[in-house]
A and B are shown apart, each in its own frame.
Chain A
Amino acid sequence: MADFLQQTVNGLSLGCVYALLALGYTMVYGILQLINFAHGEVYMVGAYAGILAAGWLVATGSSGLLLLSCVFLFAMAYAAVVGLAVERIAYRPLRDAPRLCLLISAMGVSFFLQNAVMLTQGKGDKVFPQEAYPAFLDGVIPVAGATIGVKQVLLVSSSLLLMAFLRVLVLHTRTGRAMRAVAQDRVAAALVGVRIDRVVSMTFAIGSALAGAAGVIVSLEYRQVGTTLGFTAGLKAFTAAVLGGIGSIPGAVLGGGLLGLTETYTARYGASEYKDAVAFVLLIAVLLLRPTGILGHSQAGRA
């Protein structure tokens, strides 16, 4: 039982990463009906940016929670800029082109970012600087026989904070209303004066910032990241988005959590070598049985 609880906590913290990434997919999909295949790479770039920022900040002598917040902010800002650039360069010229062209373009961006990071940061894994890693993160809170790390609590709560922030943004601000309008009907939104390009840029910036935060979380969790981090995680996060219902923000969070749990349970109680494959079996099953996902609407359909 204690073990099960432990696995559940691990699964949920993994799920948070997927949920943050899935939000990026789902928002972009809601607005442009586009699967942003380069999203996983933005996440990877965010992780690298966070590690670099941590290195610089340690050099300036800061530490602890202040340093962590700065790392988060820097990585999110950096990822947002990268996301904006990707949208501007690779997607905007193709907005009315066939989907296949966008797909290829996204794959090109993916190749580009992966190799650009590899060239500038080296081929090997990048380690989160030990000096920048606050010691209190390793503390544990014993709960009913399981140990919940302070780190996990912090990561899960910061993810939830970001998701709450996103919810407020989408439901209660002018920008959020514009985003929802564009998602409902792009042409009609343009007719009533919503600036489509700005809304799309905004969406990419927000989604990418969340991916950047997810990148920092992962680099704190595993203490090191590689350039190939993005692809599999991106694919799994997309699975999470589909699972919850693509286009639906609560769905992405739900899907992320479910996927994280499924994967952790499979690794612990099932075949650990097929841990990665489970997500994709789940993806195919969901697409076939309930393509709109758990919380999705029917118009999100099968495209």
Chain B
Amino acid sequence: MTARNAAIRAAGWGGATGLLALPMGGMAVALWTACSAASWCVLASVLGAVPSPKRMLASAVPEHWRLTGSRIVGSRRAGTFAWFAAAIGACVLPALLGRAETNLAADVLLYIILALGLNVTVGEAGLFDLGYVAFYAVGAYAYAILSREGDAIVAWLGCASPSAEGMLTALRAQGIGFWAALPVAGLVAAAVAALVGLPVLRLRGDYLAIAMLGFQQIVQRFLENEGALTGGPSGIDAPRPAFGSFTFRTRSDHYYLRLAVVAILILLLRRILSSRIGRAWRAIRDDELAARSMGIDVRRARMLAFMIGAFCAGVAGVLFAAKQNRITPSSFGWQESIIVLSMVILGGRRSLAGVILGAALLTVLPEALREVLRGALREGFEDYRMLIYGALLVCMMALRPQGLAGRREACG
């Protein structure tokens, strides 16, 4: 019942986004929003948040007409079909969109990666990580620094310990390249998370949130002040990724690159969430004491969630830097953490489809508002945008605190 409601609401929200998006880019975007709303619903059904079309169909068919009694097999087949539909929909998308819309779609994908990662930390493990954007920054800077000629790293490390210089001679010649940096930067972010998490994860609730907010501030100050390594406030260049002789230049190149990462990430996360550790998170969430007495290592499970979240943020950071070409500390302000967190909350924690929906909605919404307001106001629309965004967050929490696709009992 609630699941069906969620499906109807998801469709409704998709339609609402479509309406908001109408003035911004004409038919193309409306079409895109409609497509994506449809694919979200399909995706939602795959991920089990709402009944699959097949299951809905099955319930309309009399009992004795059904060929198999196994709902699981049925929904799995429908799932595979829906996956293909969503994948194809996403693949043809840039062909339907203009330049600006493709850019926006690429941003949506980036935020989907960030939100999926934060969902593991916040939704699955219940850790209020308000410094999430710090790991995003770590990933982006790791890519930029590792891709740069090794001299700067050696010089910076040289101040700390001259012996490190020998180890890094290999790096001197050239950076490690995009494809190696993608996982490495993710791992660097995860390693930083492990270091921070070791002390900080002993805190709970709001206190963890505040401590992480503090950590984010420290990272930002570090990026601003350690100019020799990070380029200081004016930022650092990051190279474009290349595959053989092909360089990722255009917006749609980056769109597909990100789409591939999103696809891999969704596959991975689905596996993780239904694995032993995923079940451990669920058990801890339901009853920590019971989980502990069943032999679940709560600290380890929380740490893993924290690190997996950070890994996703690190990977997102590399993708951001690769498209941006130049990254500055100001891109990694605390507001970004809040925006990603509100995507997770708005969409509905612990539902991959919900999180994806939230990320898409909150990325498209400010742009849609921009277009709407540009018509209504001559200047200052940029500020009204964030004003409305803030008001929307408050209304959303008052009206539907469990998120669009979340279940009420999941609001813990």
Contact call B390/A101, Cβ cutoff below 8 A: no
Contact call B211/A98, Cβ cutoff below 8 A: no
Complex CA–CA separation, A273 to B211 (angstroms): 20
* Chain B CB within 8 A of A115 CB: yes
Assess A235 versus B342: contact at CB under 8 Å? Given A35-B206, A274-B221.
Answer: no
Contact call B217/A107, Cβ cutoff below 8 A: no
Interface residue ranges of A65-108 to B (CB < 8 Å): 89-90, 93-94, 97-105, 107-108
CB-nearest residue of chain B to A89? B394
Q: Determine chain A's interface SS by DSSP, over half rule.
A: helix
Contact call A287/B394, Cβ cutoff below 8 A: no
Contact call B345/A288, Cβ cutoff below 8 A: no
Complex CA–CA separation, A232 to B392 (angstroms): 23
Complex CA–CA separation, A287 to B206 (angstroms): 11
Determine the interface band of chain B, counting residues with CB < 8 A from chain A: 35 or more
Q: Determine chain B's interface SS by DSSP, over half rule.
A: helix
* Chain B CB within 8 A of A116 CB: yes
Complex CA–CA separation, A283 to B215 (angstroms): 10
Among B38-46, B63-71, B197-205, the one that faces the other chain is B197-205
Assess A104 versus B387: contact at CB under 8 Å? Given A239-B214, A280-B218, A303-B205.
Answer: no
Complex CA–CA separation, A280 to B217 (angstroms): 8
Among B11-19, B84-92, B378-386, the one that faces the other chain is B378-386
Contact call B391/A108, Cβ cutoff below 8 A: yes
* Chain A CB within 8 A of B290 CB: no
CB-nearest residue of chain B to A280? B214
CB-nearest residue of chain B to A108? B393
How far in angstroms is the closest Cβ of chain B from A266? Answer: 12
Complex CA–CA separation, A101 to B215 (angstroms): 22
Partner of A101, one of B130, B389, B401: B401
* Chain B CB within 8 A of A242 CB: yes
* Chain B CB within 8 A of A231 CB: yes
* Chain A CB within 8 A of B31 CB: no
* Chain B CB within 8 A of A172 CB: no
* Chain A CB within 8 A of B272 CB: no
Interface residue ranges of A1-41 to B (CB < 8 Å): 35
Contact call B221/A115, Cβ cutoff below 8 A: no
- CB-CB < 8 A to A302: which residues of B? 202-205, 207
* Chain B CB within 8 A of A109 CB: yes
* Chain B CB within 8 A of A111 CB: yes
How far in angstroms is the closest Cβ of chain A from B403? Answer: 10
- CB-CB < 8 A to A104: which residues of B? 338, 341-342, 345, 393, 396-397
Complex CA–CA separation, A111 to B396 (angstroms): 14
CB-nearest residue of chain B to A274? B221
* Chain A CB within 8 A of B225 CB: yes
Complex CA–CA separation, A232 to B218 (angstroms): 12
- CB-CB < 8 A to B202: which residues of A? 288, 302
* Chain A CB within 8 A of B334 CB: yes
Contact call B411/A109, Cβ cutoff below 8 A: no
Partner of A273, one of B130, B225, B380, B401: B225
- CB-CB < 8 A to B209: which residues of A? 35, 103
- CB-CB < 8 A to A212: which residues of B? none
* Chain A CB within 8 A of B398 CB: yes
Contact call A283/B401, Cβ cutoff below 8 A: no
Contact call B390/A109, Cβ cutoff below 8 A: yes
Partner of B210, one of A102, A232, A238: A238
- CB-CB < 8 A to B225: which residues of A? 273-274
Complex CA–CA separation, A123 to B380 (angstroms): 10
- CB-CB < 8 A to A98: which residues of B? 401, 411-412
* Chain A CB within 8 A of B128 CB: yes
Assess A97 versus B390: contact at CB under 8 Å? Given A284-B199, A288-B199.
Answer: no
Q: Can you pick out 9 interface pairs between chain A and chain B where the beta carbons lie within 8 Å of each other?
A: A103-B341, A108-B342, A111-B387, A111-B389, A115-B387, A115-B390, A273-B221, A280-B218, A287-B210
Pairs of residues from A and B, 7 with the lowest C-beta to C-beta distance, nearest first: A108-B393, A111-B390, A280-B214, A112-B390, A303-B205, A108-B394, A105-B397
